[in-house]
Amino acid sequence: MTTRRNFLIAAGSVGLAGVAGEADATPEAMQQALRKLTGNAKVSRGKVKLDIPPLIDNGNAVPMTVSVESPMTQADHVKAIHVVTERNPQPNVVSVYLGPRAGRARMTTRIRIATSQTVTAIAELSDGTFWSGTADVVVTLSACLEEGMI
Amino acid sequence: MSRAVINVPKTVKRGEIFEVRTLVAHAMETGFRRTQLGEVIPRDIITRFVATYNGVEVFRADLHPAIAANPLIAFTTVATESGTIAFQWTGDKGYSFTESATITVV
């Protein structure tokens, strides 16, 4: 799905990548990663809540909490949660696998964000359906791009 | 070599959902950074985290370079019985680290 907004973001990234000299993942690469994770299943919007601060000073450690609306019973629970980005060097961020013993479908970690972009979380439910949630982030100091001080 | 901080409640009521917070010391070198001489610094990350509650896996995570250094992973689980929750981190260059926490269910 290419919306006008996605296109503009992608077009912008070409210029940026040239300056930074680093190849970024593209929204297309993210879609590809998503297809790999979901096995081409239909992904519906909703149920997934992605908590990331909208404005980030330092992209090297960004707190992120993903929660999914689910009763987490044997019959109806979240099997997996995947987080992907569209403009990090690699689309995949984290994949977690849980079950009814989790009690709540919720996990917290700290991630790296290379540049301002949309972060997507996908939840795989026990009935085989996929749900997604997104969050837009703006980064002032990005991760990955700085030279190593070694 | 390595160090981990685990945060679990000492005692929980049976059936209660509690949060487990884990933090492990690791640089999580992405493999995308370069030295000032332009050489790529090879990737060295933790790729997998597994938590087992009295021997039964309750949570597993596959980590990628986009996870920040000293990975914090927090999740929830249901208190079923007293025992130990064991954590294992494995990664590049043969990295493996285990830690455990005891929990009393009342």
pTM (two decimals): 0.83
All residues of chain B having their beta carbon less than 8 Å from the beta carbon of residue A147 are 33-36
Q: What is the ipTM of this complex?
A: 0.89
From chain B residues 81-100, the ones with a CB under 8 A of any chain A CB are: none
Whether the Cβ atoms of residue A114 and residue A58 lie closer than 8 Å to each other: no
For domain A25-141, the CATH architecture is Sandwich (2.60)
Say what the pLDDT of residue A7 is. 55
Average pLDDT, chain A: 82
Give B4-33+40-105's CATH code, choosing from 3.40.720.10, 3.40.470.10, 2.60.40.10, 3.20.20.80: 2.60.40.10
pLDDT at position A14, please?
44
Q: Which pLDDT score is estimated for A21?
A: 38
All structural domains of chain B with their residue ranges: 4-33+40-105
pLDDT digits (tens, 9 = 90+) for A105-142: 999 999 999 889 999 999 999 999 999 999 999 988 76
| Torsion, CA A135, CA A77, CA B16, CA B80, rounded to 10 | -130
Task: Give, to the nearest 10 degrees, the angle between helix A27-38 and helix A4-20.
Answer: 110
Q: What's the longest Cα–Cα distance across chain B?
A: 59
CB of B34 within 8 Å of any CB in chain A?
yes
Which residues in chain A (62-91) have CB-CB distances under 8 A to chain B? 62, 85, 88-90
| Structure-token match 């981190």, residue found | B89
